Amino acid sequence: MNPLVVANWKMNPSSLAEAKDLFGAIEKGVSDINNTEVVICPPFPYVSEMQNIKRKIKIGSQNCFWEDNGAFTGEISPKMLKDLGIEYVIVGHSERRKYLQETDEMINKKIRAALYANLKPILCIGESAEEKEGGRTKDVILAQLRQDLDGISEALIIAYEPVWAVGTGMACVVSDAKEANLFLRDNTQNSILLYGGSVNGQNAKGYIADAGFQGLLVGGSSLYEEEFLKIIKSVDL
Ligand code: PGA
C-alpha cells in the first residue's frame, strides 16, 4: 500500500491568505510525488477555498457530528462533508477528548455516521504519559478500540497517537511504536495504521520502514511547507 500522510492543521494558520499560501506551496511541492497519498485537514472555514485550489492533495475534516442535520448549533454533519467532496474525517483526536470532553461513546457515534456517509474516518487513540508510566498502554488502547469501534466491523484508518507525544516534540521511540503497531494489528482487522505525535522530517521514515505503520498523522510539522515536504519525500516509495 502507498503511504498515507495526513496533515492536521488544527486551529492554524490564523488567516485564509496564509492557509492559501501554505496549501499552494505544499501542492506545488507534491507535484512529482506519485506514490504517497497526501491529505490536508484545514480548519473548517478554509475548506471550500482549499477545495478550489487542490490538485493532488485530498481534503479532510478535523471533526464531524453524528446526525445528518437538525438543531445542533455549531456542528457539521458527515453528509455535509461528503457533499463538499471531502473524503477523510479525523475522529476522536486527543485534543477534542481533552478540551471538548469528547467521550468514547460520542466517538463511536461519529465513526458510525462517517462510515454511513461514505467518508473515511481516521480514529485517533493513544495513552497518556501517566498511563504509559504505569505500564498500561496496551490496556488503554484496547479499551479505546473496544468502545470506539463497538458494533463496527468495517476496516478503517486508525492513528496511534500517544497523548504525551502530541505537540510536545517528544516523539515515540521506534521500538515502542513498533510494539504498539503489532498490538494494533493483532486487535484490528485489516485496518490502515498511522503513527502520529511529533513527527518531523528526521523521524518520519522510521515509523513506516521500521515500526510498520502505513502512514502518518502530522500536526505541527505540517504547518511548515519545507518540513512537511521533507516528511512526504522521506516516505514516498
Ligand atoms: P503533532 O500533532 O505532530 O504536532 O505532535 C499530531 C496530531 O495532533 O495529530
Instruction: Pinpoint the alpha helices (H) of the chain.
Output: 16-29, 47-53, 78-83, 94-99, 104-116, 129-133, 137-148, 174-187, 204-209, 225-235
Amino acid at 12: N
As a dihedral over the C-alpha atoms of residue 38, residue 204, residue 200, residue 132, rounded to 10 degrees, the angle is 110
C-alpha cell recorded at residue 22: 501554505
Contact 197, 161 (CB under 8 A): yes
User: Which amino acid, one-letter code, is at 215?
Assistant: G
Ligand 1, atom 3, lies closest to the CA of 219
Residue 132: what pLDDT? 97
Locus of grid cell 462517517: 114
Give the CA dihedral 114, 117, 118, 124, nearest 10 degrees.
-10
- Report pLDDT for 92: 98
pTM listed for this prediction: 0.97
Q: Tell me the chain's radius of gyration from C-alpha atoms.
A: 17
- What is the pLDDT tens value at each position of the chain, 237 positions in all? 899 999 999 999 999 999 999 999 999 999 999 999 999 999 999 999 999 999 999 999 999 999 999 999 999 999 999 999 999 999 999 999 999 999 999 999 999 999 999 999 999 999 999 999 999 999 999 999 999 999 999 989 999 999 999 999 999 999 999 999 999 999 998 999 999 999 999 999 999 999 999 999 999 999 999 999 999 999 997
Residue 217 CA: nearest ligand 1 atom is 9
222 CA: nearest ligand 1 atom = 3
Cross-strand bridge partners of residue 135 = none
Q: What is the pLDDT of residues 188-233, one digit of tens each?
A: 989 999 999 999 999 999 999 999 999 999 999 999 999 999 999 9
Pocket-testing residue among 123, 199, 203, 207, ligand 1, by greatest number of atoms within 8 A of Cβ: 199
pLDDT of the residue at 189: 86
pLDDT digits (tens, 9 = 90+) for 10-29: 999 999 999 999 999 999 99
CA distances from 112 to 61, 68, 153, 191 (A): 16, 12, 10, 15
Looking at residue 23, its pLDDT comes to 98
- Residue 48: helix, strand or coil by DSSP? helix
| 215 within ligand 1 shell (Cβ under 6 A) | no
Rounded CA separation 112/35 (Å): 30
What is the set of active-site residues? Answer: 93, 161
Residue 198 is predicted with a pLDDT of 98
